[in-house]
Structures are given as structure tokens and as C-alpha cells.
Amino acid sequence: MLIAVAVASGVGLLWPVLANGAKAGTLTANGAVQRINREKAVVVDVSEAEEFAAGHLGGAKNVPLAQLEDKLTSTVKNKGLPLILVCATGARANRALAVAKKLGYEQAEVLSGGLKAWKEANLPVEKS
């Protein structure tokens, strides 16, 4: 019985660490603002060009998901900078995260909830 309690306690203590590992790469809108302002993070919007033109984060660079593997290294040359991946809802950005990590962008993260969450946080959006 004591062993079972000890194991259950250990799992309970480790659960937050394990859960955060599963969510690696996600970032809140406010967290993204901090990364941009404090760490000079580069924002890459993986939406299609029409979606990007309709609204995007200020200073974001547009590299559609289908072109990401070919164009990311020429768009963001410094792999040491934090990279924030964005799309309308976060779904494409989550797929883009694997590509960015494969290309060597270890500090790549996804804006959780995408542009929708950014707007819900009342943060500014640019149109082009």
C-alpha cells in the first residue's frame, strides 16, 4: 500500500512537467508580445497570402505553410532568435512547428489560438 501511495505521489509531482512537455511550442498572445519586445522574436505567419493580407500581426513575415520548408531559412536567417509561428487558429502553425524544428529553429513556438486569440486579446492587427 505504501509503495502505491509513493508511486501515485511521484506521478502527481511529475505530471505538470510531463504536461508542459506535451504542450511545448505553444504561447499565449501576451507571452508572444513579451517575446517580441524583450527577445526580438520573429513572427512568421504561415497563412495563405490572401489571409495574410486580410489581417496579421504587426511586423509578421508571410511564408505559407506549403512553402515553409523551402523559404523559412531565407526569410529568417538567424536561427538563434525566438520564432513565433502564427496562422488563423493555430492548426497550421502547429504543423509548421515540426518543420521549423527540423530546420534548426530550436526556439520556435506557436501562438496558441492563432490570430483569433491575438484579436480576442485586443492586440493590434495590420492589413496589407
pLDDT digits (tens, 9 = 90+) for 33-60: 999 999 999 999 999 999 999 999 999 9
Cell for 100?
521549423
The closest alpha carbon to 23, from 126, 125, 97, 99, belongs to 97
108 φ/ψ angles, rounded to the nearest 5 degrees? -75, 140
Residue 23 pLDDT greater than 80, yes or no: no
How far apart are alpha carbons 58 and 126 in whole angstroms? 6
- Model confidence at 2, in pLDDT bands (50, 70, 90)? confident
Read off the pLDDT of residues 95-119 as tens digits, 9 standing for 90 and up: 999 999 999 999 999 999 999 999 9
Region 66-86: mean pLDDT is 96
pTM comes to 0.80
